[in-house]
């Protein structure tokens, strides 16, 4: 059977690069090649920057309402192509079809939201002590942006970055993850078909080791937006420290959900399970630490264990599947290694904890929902991000100890609490060190107009999403005009 070969968008041309191709594998059955994408060379990357340099000038001179029209049309095309895009998303990343459809819709919403901002006020007037002088503040695009995106939300994360970047008038060079490039190219196709001018968006696929220098050393990009691991984000910040390049990083998380003795467990159990195990735990905002008040510990663990055992593993396109595979064999082995080390350090497995032996799943990257108890705060599993369907349960005596445990992390992305007390809820929001705080809600699932970003090692000071998301992609210019 002929394998599809998808090309990159450079200028307004679809190009195959050097003629070498990368296989995109199905994590539900790694024997299956879903499609191929170009293995671009450093020279190909330079061509993308050439196009972006021209595209930035064209797009900046394009009126905001005209730019908004392109974004709106792209959103419409994404919605119309939901089934095609979602199917490719499942096949390259492993999500369930329902999760993939939801990602396509949410991605369209990013473009709709930022398109709508074109009809809102921008800039402002300020008073000036000089006579006959009007002073104003305006926001301008920064220029060429490099966007590096991860494999876990391969459509949503590019949309989260491209929508505000393009709305603000910038050009973008987009480098999607090696494992999941297909839906990023679908996104490029939608923007191309919506009328985006040549060079405003350019995509680059290829092996990171072969093209990273060309991507990062080109003097024409002035902003880097990155989502991925904390290790890689920190490396990028060091790499660019001597350049006048603004850097936005959305990195790791070790998100804690606190379940207090007064919690509504009928609400807490399914909510925590969905936050921990949904998308096979491959979300930066997934719940990975559960801090439980001692009075309800046994009941909570027993009921969460029942919920974990209710998930049905399988290929994401199968209608009975509620938990798809991890993204790759390497990542599956890494997740299994985290669990094995936790057991060596004294944790107990009460659900999951081993690669399934079902022959139907033998060629996929499957790992079951896993619950670890008897977890102390000196264990590695308490500290390190797993990025899989694994939760570590820690018992505390009271609220103060719960807050202390939740804050006991190098990360600070998302946190949650379950309680019936409004006073306790407000106190938790005040005290917890996290960029997003949820009360009686999952740690994941933030909307496109909600500012998003973490504290500490979870990311930079630049937020994504909402009105805050535009700040990274704009520079501030103050002008004073004496008119008499």
List the catalytic residues. 284
Q: How far is CA 170 from the centre of its chain?
A: 21
- Distance between CA atoms of residues 447 and 441, nearest Å: 13
138 has which bridge partners?
477
Q: Could you tell me whether strands 348-351 and 370-373 are parallel, antiparallel, or unpaired per DSSP bridges?
A: antiparallel
- Distance between CA atoms of residues 61 and 120, nearest Å: 19
Residues 6+ apart with CB under 8 A from 229: 251, 252, 385
- Distance between CA atoms of residues 338 and 387, nearest Å: 10
Closest CA to 281 of 315, 308, 310: 308
- Tell me how far apart the terminal alpha carbons of the chain are, to the nearest angstrom: 76
For 442, the token pair is: 């999952």
Residues 6+ apart with CB under 8 A from 286: 253, 255, 275, 276, 278, 279, 387, 443, 444
């Amino acid at each position: 059977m002929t394998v599809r070969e998808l090309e990159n968008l450079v200028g307004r041309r679809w190009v195959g690069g050097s003629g070498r191709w990368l296989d995109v594998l199905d994590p539900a059955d790694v024997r299956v090649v879903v499609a191929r994408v170009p293995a671009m060379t450093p020279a190909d990357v330079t061509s993308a920057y050439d196009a972006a340099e021209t595209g930035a000038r064209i797009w900046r001179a394009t009126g905001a309402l005209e730019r908004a029209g392109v974004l709106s049309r792209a959103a419409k095309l994404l919605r119309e192509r939901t089934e095609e895009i979602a199917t490719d998303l499942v096949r390259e990343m492993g999500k369930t079809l329902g999760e993939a459809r939801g990602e396509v819709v949410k991605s369209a919403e990013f473009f709709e939201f930022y398109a709508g901002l074109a009809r809102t006020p921008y800039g402002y007037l300020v008073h000036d002590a000089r006579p006959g002088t009007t002073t104003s503040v305006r926001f301008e695009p920064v220029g060429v942006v490099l966007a590096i995106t991860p494999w876990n939300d391969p459509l949503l994360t590019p949309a989260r970055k491209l929508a505000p970047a393009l709305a603000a008038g910038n050009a973008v060079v987009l480098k999607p993850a090696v494992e999941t490039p297909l839906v990023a190219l679908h996104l490029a196709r939608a923007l191309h078909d919506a009328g985006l001018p040549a060079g405003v968006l350019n995509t680059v696929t290829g092996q990171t080791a072969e093209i990273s220098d060309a991507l990062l050393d080109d003097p024409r990009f002035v902003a880097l937006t990155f989502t991925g691991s904390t290790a890689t984000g920190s490396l990028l910040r060091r790499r660019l420290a001597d350049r006048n390049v603004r850097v936005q990083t959305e990195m790791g998380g070790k998100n804690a959900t606190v379940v207090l003795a007064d919690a509504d467990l009928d609400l807490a159990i399914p909510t925590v399970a969905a936050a921990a195990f949904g998308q096979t735990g491959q979300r930066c905002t997934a719940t990975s630490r559960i801090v439980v008040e001692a009075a309800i510990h046994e009941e909570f663990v027993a009921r969460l264990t029942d919920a974990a055992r209710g998930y049905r593993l399988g290929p994401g396109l199968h209608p009975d599947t509620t938990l798809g595979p991890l993204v790759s064999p390497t990542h599956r082995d890494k997740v299994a290694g985290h669990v094995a080390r936790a057991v060596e350090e004294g944790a107990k497995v009460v659900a999951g904890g081993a690669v399934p032996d079902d022959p139907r799943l033998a060629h996929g990257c499957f790992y079951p929902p896993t619950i670890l108890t008897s977890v102390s705060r000196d264990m590695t599993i308490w500290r390190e991000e797993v990025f899989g369907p694994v939760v570590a349960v820690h018992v505390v005596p009271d609220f103060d100890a719960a807050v202390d445990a939740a804050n006991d992390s190098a990360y600070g992305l998302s946190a949650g609490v379950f309680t019936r007390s409004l006073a306790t809820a407000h106190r938790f929001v005040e005290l917890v060190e996290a960029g997003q705080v949820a009360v009686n809600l999952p740690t994941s699932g933030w909307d496109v107009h909600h500012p998003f970003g973490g504290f500490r090692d979870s990311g930079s000071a630049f937020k994504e999403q909402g009105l805050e998301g535009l700040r990274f992609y704009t520079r501030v210019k103050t002008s004073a005009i004496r008119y008499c």
